[in-house]
């Protein structure tokens, strides 16, 4: 598959520390190099949420070394699908781009017990999106 045929997905949330990092982690883990995966936030945190790191680590997915970053127009230009996760009006909107909104609870400040159900919802949503994209 050439790079131009590989779908790109951008995961956006406010702090790029929990939901979007877990979404990107699942997509990288499940799809490998069949999808270009990016993530960003409107107000990036200084590090990935430790409870999100722990919850993902329980499933063998390491997101600890990813650094939250601010979304950019370049990121938006590179992808086919933008997944928004609770960033509301602070998420960018470009006409003609496919947007999917996943209304998920914010794991910020939550312990791992509260993050696990959010993680599991994200996994199910990522698997569904990959099926829609024709990536298995």
Single out the catalytic residue among 9, 10, 12, 13: 13
Instruction: Report yes or no on 114 lying in a domain.
Output: yes
Global pTM reads 0.92
**Mean pLDDT in residue range 113-121:** 97
In the residue annotation, 13 being an active-site residue is answered as: yes
- Counting Cα atoms < 13 Å in the Cβ hemisphere of 92 gives 21
Instruction: Report yes or no on 90 lying in a domain.
Output: yes
Instruction: Report yes or no on 136 lying in a domain.
Output: no
Single out the catalytic residue among 87, 115, 122, 133: 87
| Structural domain containing residue 21 | 3-129
Residue 1 confidence (pLDDT): 44
- C-beta separation of 16 from 90 below 8 A: no
How many domains would you assign to the chain?
Answer: 1
Residue 93 confidence (pLDDT): 76
- pLDDT band for position 56 (50/70/90)? very high
- pLDDT band for position 4 (50/70/90)? low
| Residue 37, helix vs strand vs coil | strand
**Given a cut of 70, is residue 49 above it in pLDDT?**
yes
For residue 77, count other CB atoms closer than 10 A to its CB: 11
Instruction: Report yes or no on 112 lying in a domain.
Output: yes
In the residue annotation, 45 being an active-site residue is answered as: no
Nearest alpha carbon to residue 114 among 54, 26, 30, 67: 54
- pLDDT band for position 136 (50/70/90)? low
Residue 91 confidence (pLDDT): 72
In the residue annotation, 105 being an active-site residue is answered as: no
**Angle at 50 (CA atoms; ends 9, 113), nearest 5 degrees:** 95
Give the Å distances, CA to CA, from 108 to 9, 56, 112.
23, 15, 10
CATH code of residue 70: 3.40.50.2300
């Amino acid at each position: 598959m050439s790079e131009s045929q590989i779908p790109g997905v951008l995961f956006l949330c406010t702090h790029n520390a929990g939901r979007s990092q877990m979404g990107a982690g699942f997509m990288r883990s499940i799809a490998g190099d069949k999808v270009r995966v990016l993530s960003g936030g409107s107000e990036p945190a200084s590090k990935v949420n430790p409870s999100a790191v722990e919850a993902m680590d329980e499933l063998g997915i390491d997101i600890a070394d990813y650094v939250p970053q601010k979304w950019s127009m370049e990121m938006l230009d590179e992808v086919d699908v933008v997944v928004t996760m609770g960033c509301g009006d602070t998420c960018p909107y470009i006409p003609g781009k496919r947007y999917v909104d996943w209304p998920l609870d914010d794991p910020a400040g939550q312990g791992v017990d509260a993050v696990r159900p959010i993680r599991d919802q994200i996994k199910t949503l990522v698997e569904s999106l990959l099926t829609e994209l024709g990536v298995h």
